[in-house]
Amino acid sequence: MTERSGIHDPLVTFVTTDYAGITRGRSITAASYIPGQAKTLGWVPANMSLTPMDLIADPNPWGSAGDLRLLPDDDARFRFAIEGSATALDIVMSDIVELDGTPWICCPRSFLRNALDDLRSETGAELVAAFEHEFQIFGAGWYSAPAFSLQALRQADPFGPALIASLREAGLDPEVFIAEYGKEQFEITMAPCPALAAADRAVVLRETVRELSRNRGWRSSFAPKTSADGIGNGVHIHFSFADSKGRPTTYDAAKPGGVSDLAASFVAGILKHLPALIAFTAPSPISYLRLQPHHWSSSYTWFGDQDREASLRICPINRVGKSDPAKAFNIEYRPADACACPHLALGVMVRAGLEGIRAKLAAPPLFSGDPALLCSEECEALGLRRLPQTLAQALDTLLQDSTVCSWFDPKALETYTGMKRMELKLAGDALDDAQCRRYAEIY
């Protein structure tokens, strides 16, 4: 924008969401972006070692050396208006590649794509997914409205309709806008779609909410905790399976919980490796303030049927209208938040699930109740293990799981764990309101 004349030269931004869960990128004029011509922009390896505090981890495997490119995916371009913005948001999801175009070992989007390709080639299954986000708004000056109330929805109006309109124009499929349990907390859900697109859409949704809030002079935050004793903001990752012809394959009425053999082994694989996975899906120090018993989040390796304390939950089937249950049947992964990169989080879930399918693991036992009331033998029989209670513990658990470590090039694993160790150092030991506010401003 030229301030004197008010003329705008539209820009398109090549974006990547990094190991810190932050979407970064570079812009060019929209006129110079021609689909199909594989135009790329420069990138730096050490960028992946950036902490959420915008300091590069020291040490890291990259230093000052090396060059990469951002390679845009023409099929993942999102151009749409956001109420109050002077120009349309025009972004294209990009893979980080070497100078010869081969995928870089630390690219989260390539990591997810490769995992999905392996799932498809080994099982014939396509993963369908949807990210369900909770967030809070600050600075709007609203009164305290009751949870889930029409009052809470109406005092936010027209934020909800504007958000839905922007997402719909972007080509997403928003479903429900909810006033949530917490003060000035909301939830937005989107329809399921192919898994790579679902992770891309999660990025678009987060940035749309943030910009729409900024345009109103507010601040929105997806941080897992915005105050130490406050309500948490989760990201629930819903998934199901379809065959090569698009037919659903997650549901089997004859099986416990209605979970097909394929889905049951996938879930069993996730649960087996879950204590290591949360280093990627709940990756901030304050994530563990949320992952506590009786917080309706997750605290154990727990498979539940419609139980919101479970880490993997069978979602209810809507029987109204006698619709086909197989089409709506899905499972929800709950120990995740928006400090995680959507592509990396979903990628490790797919890798763990595929391990369960390869090993033909049996369906995990279904449980509902309070694990704290069970003896150790009962917990073991049900597969209930307490998840790590700090990020430091989660990182240690990750490095002890040789299977999970094997999914990453050693330099990629070193990059991720080194960045997270640096984040812990920068964050300090205090898990208090000040720390939560710090993360609220970042996420």
- Give the C-alpha separation, 84 to 79, whole Å: 15
The answer to whether residue 5 scores a pLDDT higher than 80 is no
Q: Which residue has the higher pLDDT, 29 or 4?
A: 29
Query: In angstroms, rounded to a whole number, what is the distance separating the alpha carbons of residues 264 and 165?
Result: 37
Amino acid at 153: L
Closest to 22 (Cα-Cα) out of 45, 40, 42, 49: 49
Name every residue whose Cβ is closer than 8 Å to that of residue 116 and which is 6 or more positions away in sequence: 126, 127, 195, 196, 350
Q: Which amino acid makes up residue 217?
A: G
Look at residue 193 and give its three-state secondary structure.
strand
pLDDT higher than 80, residue 96: yes
Contact between residue 304 and residue 401 where contact means Cβ atoms under 8 Å apart: no
At 294, is the pLDDT very low, low, confident or very high (cuts 50, 70, 90)? Answer: confident
Residue 2 has pLDDT above 60, yes or no: no
What the chain holds in terms of domains, given with CATH numbers, is 11-104 (3.10.20.70), 111-442 (3.30.590.10)
The model carries a pTM of 0.96
- The Cα–Cα gap between 397 and 391 comes to 10
CA torsion 325→327→328→331, rounded to 10°?
100
Three-state SS at 307: coil
Whole-number pLDDT of residue 212: 98
Of the given ranges (65-69, 117-121, 139-143, 167-171), which has the lowest mean pLDDT?
Answer: 139-143
pLDDT tens for 19-34 read 999 999 999 999 999 9
Asked whether the predicted pLDDT for residue 18 surpasses 80, the reply is yes
- d(CA 227, CA 243) in angstroms, rounded, equals 44
